[in-house]
A = this chain, B = another copy of it.
Amino acid sequence: MEIIRKITKCKLIVNDLKKKGCKIGFVPTMGFLHEGHLSLIRMAKKDCDRVFISIFINPTQFGPGEDFKNYPRDIRRDSSLAEKEGVDYMFYPTVKEMYGSDHKTVAEVKELGNIMCGKYRPGHFAGVTTVVLKLFNIVKAGKAYFGQKDYQQMIIIKRMVEDLNLDIEIVSGPTVREKDGLALSSRNKYLSAEERKNATILYECLILAKDMIEKGEKDLEKIKKIIMVKLKGNRFVKNIDYFEFRDPRTLEDRKRVNKDYKNILAAIALWIGKTRLIDNMIIKV
């Protein structure tokens, strides 16, 4: 595996691979790799001739009070894991390399970036789409892989790709979970032992919603209320950002199950102590 620190170098390699007709697969990450990332790498390995990952903790997608400085980093472990999975190139630029001293351009998906997590993290998705667009232009992959755990991010990136006429296919991989249901996240590292135990509540709420819908409950507002009661009963849940039902494609709000719907997205974001966790589930109706 080759580690690339410079954009120009990365472009040279990419252009050379493309001349040879290689299909490039790309897994953009913020590092501290877990089984979720690795499952995306494995998908890319199956589909493509060469696999790139990027490791870049993007400052512009963190808000002023957020965890940019403390976000977990372990580049040695990351490179060893990536190498084991057969990653061909790891693009690992500095913040200066990515943004220079005079960066002024922002690519933003309006509306979709202001709801759900965007409501609680203003500017977050504009930071994500801008850096992802830059990375797409540097790596020029035919396919890029994103985890379904960050569902809203995946939808926003798909919208951007379509709107900006980019020649890249966005492939989404299923959320990887611990045995007790907790979705894998680099941020799980922040949790104390007791918090970790209680963090399964996100998954429990999603399963509860799924069960109620599958048993025929049409009133999604009613399900929400029941889930809110459950969440408020757990003393480790410090803040409930949202529990929402949305259209899985458009992210439009859903209040009732309608026979026209095939699926409903249930999405949750809350704080366990000082750690913000998110999860979601597509529920067949």
Chain A residues engaging chain B, CB cutoff 8 angstroms? 7, 11, 100, 102-112, 129, 133-134, 137-138, 159-160, 162-167
Contacts and interface: CB of A to CB of B under 8 A. Distances in A.
A112 B103 CA distance: 11
Nearest to A138: B165
20 contacts: A11-B165, A100-B162, A103-B163, A104-B110, A104-B159, A104-B163, A105-B107, A105-B108, A105-B160, A105-B163, A105-B164, A106-B108, A106-B110, A107-B108, A108-B108, A133-B164, A134-B163, A134-B164, A137-B165, A137-B167
Which are the 5 A-B pairs with shortest beta-carbon distances?
A105-B163, A137-B165, A107-B107, A104-B110, A105-B160
A180 to B, nearest CB: 37
Nearest to A166: B137
A159 B105 contact: yes
A132 to B, nearest CB: 11
Contacts of A138: 165
A206 to B, nearest CB: 27
Contact of A167 (B11, B112, B133, B162): B11
Contacts of A159: 102, 104-105
Nearest to A134: B165
Listed residue (A105, A109, A164) with the most chain B CB atoms within 10 angstroms of its CB: A105
Contact of A104 (B7, B103, B109): B109
Listed residue (A100, A109, A133, A159) with the most chain B CB atoms within 10 angstroms of its CB: A133
Contacts of A112: 104
A137 to B, nearest CB: 4
